[in-house]
Amino acid sequence: MKFNYIWKNNQSSSEIEIISNPSNKKLLSTFEQHFSQSITLSATDFKTNRQVVIELNDIEAIEASGHFTKIFLIDGTELLLNKILKELSYLESFGLVRINNSTILNLKQIRAFASGSHARLEVITKQQNKYIVSRHYAKSIKEKLI
């Protein structure tokens, strides 16, 4: 199968136009279902010790905690994930990016940011939580936010 890309400036950035032969209808339907699915993670609620399935959009931040990670949801809930931050690097393609050695932040939850001391960046989320972006990650975070 061959893919042809046509870039249009007047095309909405939230819309993708696909032109295909009717014989590909089933394939394209599967393709559409794949991309419209919400991405989830399975974490443990350490208060009840139960497994909880959460959507990535509900995550505010993920912080390292030894050999585990703590997930902070936008409603204030804290969950535990049996993985280290390095194993969660695939989440960057879904808008959750590393901001320092111990934190991954959901870019969709950022309300404001300002320059901090020592070339660092201070980020404030919609839930009024403040995070410090290290100078190593500051440039790439600014580029993604602007």
| 10-residue mean pLDDT series, the chain (146 residues) | 81 81 87 73 91 93 94 94 92 90 94 84 93 90 81
pLDDT for residue 37: 63
Q: Which backbone phi and psi does 141 adopt, to 5 degrees?
A: -65, -45
**Which residues are 79's β-sheet partners?**
71
pLDDT for residue 117: 81
Closest among 56, 54, 123, 63 to 93, alpha carbons compared = 56
The reported pTM is 0.73
Domains and CATH numbers, the chain: 40-145 (2.40.50.1020)
